[in-house]
């Protein structure tokens, strides 16, 4: 790809006097060679960039590195993300077409340019959009709909009637559409509640390896456009996750919770069911969220509280030994005053 095309993709242009050249890829400052581009998102890495053999570097506007061909942009980390996608390998995961050992029901509709890996099973009335890539040992059950340009990695399981949009990534070991954890209790025994809903995943959603998304009881469990889930995230039945929300690893969301748009959720955070998390809020790692969170609010801790309140509590706890000594001293003074 030409350096000028990369500059155009970043919304900038080549510096004056720089000759256009072919760029073969993107790499770290330490690993880049004379045919690769790199980026500088933090000043901590400026020395590494200065000594790099890279062909060019993506930098923040006004922070050019002397002696380097610099493409200036508002946010070099975002620029890195965009250019990394340009160089991403989008070839079929297991070669073109369907592997001979794949089992594809005759009623399934497979779009143009779809590739299917070995030993994958595709059920009745499944529809898969153009250029989607299905890995090996995947199971895609009946009446599932998968859009165009999706990537379903090896070992993923997509249960029946799941609806998936375009450009969705589902990594290995993920299970989409498993039964929710619903049980009634009778005479100290549990009675299982079947789930009749499904899972709906909108465009540009990423789901990490080993994550589990339960189907709804009657309605759908929904992941809105642009949501990003890390590995080992559990989303229970009838949960709705808003647009562009990001959830880090090992978070667990109980049934019927509503999570708004652009929410940031730290790793191992846990949510009780039937609560609402407002747009643009922040949930810290390992937070235990048992109540609604307002729009824009930042909470952390167990139980989850306002982040600044919790910081003050933690600061006070650090002074407890000193405060206890002070209390003992004051008690002695009071007792002495009483004796007088």
Assign 222 a pLDDT band (cuts: 50, 70, 90): very high
**Same domain for 263 and 278?**
yes
In whole angstroms, what is the distance from residue 289 CA to residue 291 CA? 6
For the segment 46-70, what is each residue's pLDDT rounded down to a tens digit? 999 999 999 999 999 999 999 999 9
The Cα–Cα gap between 75 and 83 comes to 13
For residue range 94-119, what is the model confidence (pLDDT) as tens digits? 989 999 999 999 999 999 999 999 99
Q: Examine the pLDDT at 278 and tell me if it is beyond 90.
A: yes
* Nearest Cα to Cα of residue 71 among 125, 129, 13: 13
Tens digit of pLDDT for each residue in 133-179? 999 999 999 999 999 999 999 999 999 999 999 999 999 999 999 99
H-helix segments, the chain: 3-9, 46-50, 76-86, 307-318, 320-339
Same domain, residue pair 41 and 156: no
Query: Beta 212-214 vs 175-178: how paired, if at all?
Result: parallel
Q: Cα-flanking dihedrals φ and ψ of residue 8, to 5°?
A: -65, -40
The predicted pLDDT at position 68 comes to 93
Provide the pLDDT for residue 25. Answer: 95
Q: Rounded to whole angstroms, what are the CA distances from 332 to 194, 322, 328, 335, 336?
A: 66, 16, 6, 5, 6
Please check whether residue 95 lies inside any domain of the structure: no
- The predicted structure's pLDDT at residue 312: 84
Instruction: Note whether 196 and 175 are same-domain residues.
Output: yes
Same domain, yes or no: 314 and 300: no
Beta strand 305-306 pairing with 298-300: antiparallel
Instruction: Assess whether pLDDT exceeds 90 at residue 340.
Output: no
Average pLDDT over residues 319-334: 90
Residue 306: pLDDT band with limits 50, 70, 90: confident
Question: In angstroms, rounded to a whole number, what is the distance separating the alpha carbons of residues 255 and 235?
Answer: 8
Q: What is the pLDDT of residues 178-206, one digit of tens each?
A: 999 999 999 999 999 999 999 999 999 99
Beta bridge partners of 184: 191
- Residue 223 sits in a domain whose CATH number is 2.160.10.10
* Cis amide bond preceding 303, omega within 30: yes
**Cα–Cα distance between 182 and 201 in angstroms, integer?**
22
Give me the pLDDT at residue 24, please.
95
Catalytic (active site) residue 137: no
The pLDDT value recorded for residue 35 is: 94
Q: Summarize pLDDT for 250-274 with one digit per residue, the tens.
A: 999 999 999 999 999 999 999 999 9
Residue of 137, 234, 237, 274 marked active site: 237
* DSSP-assigned letter for residue 15: P
Asked whether residue 239 is assigned to any structural domain, the reply reads yes
180 against 317, higher pLDDT: 180
Last residue of a domain, one of 86, 121, 137: 86
- Residue 93 confidence (pLDDT) above 90: no
Q: What is the pLDDT of residue 125?
A: 98
| Structural domain includes residue 58 | yes
pLDDT of residue 308: 85
Q: Which residues pair with 26 in a beta bridge?
A: 37
- pLDDT greater than 90 at residue 307: no
Over 90: is that where the pLDDT of 303 sits? no
Q: What is the pLDDT of residue 330?
A: 93
Average pLDDT, the chain: 95
Domain count, the chain: 3
Return the pLDDT at 239. 98
Residue 196 shares a structural domain with residue 250: yes
The two tokens of residue 229 are 């889930």
CATH of the domain at 16: 3.40.1390.10
Q: What CA–CA distance (Å, rounded) separates 36 from 187?
A: 68
H/E element, 6: helix 3-9
Concatenated DSSP letters of 228-241: EE-TT-EE-TT-EE
Same domain, 43 and 126: no
Radius of gyration of the chain (CA): 26
| Same domain flag for 73 and 160 | no
Residue in this structure with the two tokens 């667990």, named with its chain if needed: 252
Determine the structural domain holding residue 77 and report its residue range.
3-86
Query: 176 and 29 share a domain?
Result: no
Query: For residue 4, what are its two tokens?
Result: 């000028």
Over pLDDT 70: what percentage of the chain?
A: 100
On the question of pLDDT at 240 being above 90, the answer is yes
């Amino acid at each position: 790809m030409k350096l000028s095309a990369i500059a155009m993709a970043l919304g900038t242009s080549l510096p004056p006097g720089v000759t256009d050249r072919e760029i073969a890829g993107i790499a770290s400052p330490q690993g880049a060679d004379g045919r690769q581009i790199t980026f500088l998102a933090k000043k901590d890495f400026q020395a590494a960039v200065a000594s790099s053999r890279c062909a060019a570097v993506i930098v923040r506007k006004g922070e050019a590195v002397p002696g380097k061909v610099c493409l200036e942009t508002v946010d070099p980390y975002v620029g890195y993300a965009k250019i990394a996608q340009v160089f991403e390998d989008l070839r079929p995961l297991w070669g073109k077409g369907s592997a001979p050992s794949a089992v594809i029901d005759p009623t399934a509709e497979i779009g143009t340019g779809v590739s299917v890996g070995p030993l994958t099973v595709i059920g009745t009335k499944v529809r898969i959009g153009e250029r989607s890539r299905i890995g090996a040992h995947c199971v895609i059950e009946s009446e599932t709909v998968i859009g165009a340009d999706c990537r379903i990695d090896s070992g993923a399981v997509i249960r029946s009637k799941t609806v998936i949009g375009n450009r969705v990534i589902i990594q290995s070991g993920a299970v989409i559409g498993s039964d929710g954890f619903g049980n009634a209790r009778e005479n100290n025994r549990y009675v299982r509640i079947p789930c009749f809903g499904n899972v709906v995943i909108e465009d540009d959603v990423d789901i990490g390896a080993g994550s589990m998304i339960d189907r709804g009881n009657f309605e759908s469990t929904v992941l809105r456009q642009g949501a990003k889930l890390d590995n080992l995230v559990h989303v229970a039945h009838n949960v709705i996750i808003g647009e562009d929300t990001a959830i880090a690893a090992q978070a667990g969301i109980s049934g019927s919770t509503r999570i708004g748009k652009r929410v940031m959720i730290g790793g191992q955070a846990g949510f009780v069911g039937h609560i609402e998390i407002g747009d643009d809020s922040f949930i810290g790692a390992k937070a235990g969220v048992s109540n609604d969170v307002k729009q824009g609010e930042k909470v952390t801790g167990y139980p989850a509280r306002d982040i600044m309140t919790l910081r003050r509590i933690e600061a006070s706890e650090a002074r407890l030994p000193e405060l206890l000594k002070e209390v003992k001293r004051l008690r002695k003074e009071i007792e002495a005053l009483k004796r007088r």
